Structure 1
Amino acid sequence: MIALVWKLKSILAVTCVFVAATGMAAGQSARLDPLFERLKSVDAVDAPALEAKIRQEWSKSGSPAADLLLSRAKIAIDAGDQKTAMGHLTALTDHAPEFAEGWSLTAMTLFHMGKIGPAMDALERTLALEPRHFLALEGLVLIFDDAGLYQEAFEILRRIEAIHPHAEILSRVRTRLEAKTLGQAL
């Protein structure tokens, strides 16, 4: 458990550095920058459509082979076949190690398989490549919350809000995390 807490805290530190970085982080795209700028100020009703555009951009690897592997992994994930999904995702991250979405789906799949340490590693890779990946940050919130690191989870939640003020996770877990951290220094 102590090793997990240290791993979680080290990823939190890395995340803070990357998320705080200005426009020079690896993985940033000229196509994504204006979408993320609009996401900060869009009305709540328009946020889901803009989020979908960002997620669509995240799915574009620039490689037909990588796109095929991603597609097959998503089909396996939707079918609940984590093992097959991991086969495709391993091939994807081997083929395209700079493709953040491959790492993000790897993290999600590993998390669902109960492999928290490897999931954390994949989240770290995702955020190193795309610090604004709010879905990867959501994964961190869930892992920190599950580990009882409520202040850390709340801090990541604040980072999500700075990137995506209308993210669904904000309404879902904010009140609970605020209650758990009430009276604690944030």
Structure 2
Amino acid sequence: MTRRISLIVAFVALSLLSAPAVAEQGDGRLDSLFGDLLGTSDQVAAEAVQDRIWDIWLEHPQEDVVFLMREGVQNLNADRYAEALAAFDAVVARDPNYAEGWDKRANAEYLLGNYDNAVRDIGRALALEPRHFGALAGLGLVYLAIDEPAGALRAFNAALAINPHLDGVRQQATKIRQQMAGSAL
């Protein structure tokens, strides 16, 4: 399983070099917001920008997709992961170009312990929105779950390169660096 995930991640990384953003991910407001995210050192301002990015990522022109996303998120928050997965399955079936649908489905797969599926869905989300720092952070969590700290560190560093205000991700990356430095001695 570990080798397979590594191959999938390598494929995803290569595909990111040329993947265009589509659908809501192509929203013109995002470029400015990502610039603001990198340009601020104010944590409160950064959180407001992050929230706006998430709001844009969650936007969708089809009401049924919006309804299914809400249902899926509510199920995730209530620890009903199988029900969340079913909602997100319906989302990506209705719009396979909706990056946030894939990211949320990856979350459900991860919480169910379906790591190969989570990586596949993260790859799809990143192919559609290469700046999806949430998907990259999620990839880091998958790597931690399968005890691949080097892969987790790469994913966390990639997320932080896009959004340097992810304190939890930064703490995880620091912890991994310290563990790796300690094991190298």
**Shorter-chain TM-score: what band?**
0.7 to 0.9
TM-score (norm 2): 0.87
Q: Distance in 1 between matches of 2:32 and 2:15?
A: 19
Partner residue in 2 for 1:14: 11
SS at match of 1:84: helix
Deviations 1:9-49 (A, max 9, x none): 12332343355558x44443312111111111112231111
Cα separation, partners in 2 of 1:117 and 1:78, compared to 1, 3 Å: same
Aligned to 1:38: 36
Task: Work out whether 1:121 is the aligned partner of 2:127.
Answer: no
- Encode CA deviations 1:59-118: one digit per residue, 9 max, x unaligned: 012211211111111122222222221221111110011101111110101111111111
Any conservation in 2 of the 1:19–1:159 contact (CA below 8 Å)?
no
User: 84-93 or 4-13: which moved more?
Assistant: 4-13
Stretches of structure 1 that go unaligned for 5 or more consecutive residues are none
In 2, the alpha carbon distance for the partners of 1:184 and 1:18 equals 33
Give the paired residue count: 181
What is the identity, as a one-letter code, of the residue corresponding to 1:37?
A: G
Matched, 1:86 2:85: yes
1:103 and 1:122 in contact (8 A); partners too: yes
> Residue 61 of structure 2: SS of its match in structure 1?
coil
Q: Does 1:60 pair with 2:47?
A: no
Name the structure with the higher helix share. 2
Unmatched segments (≥5 aa) in structure 2: none
1:184/1:14 Cα in 2 relative to 1: closer, same or farther (>3 Å)? farther
Give, in angstroms, the shift of residue 184 of structure 1. 8.7
Residue 76 of structure 2 contacts residue 108 of structure 2 at CA under 8 Å; is this kept in 1? yes
Identity of paired residues, percent? 27
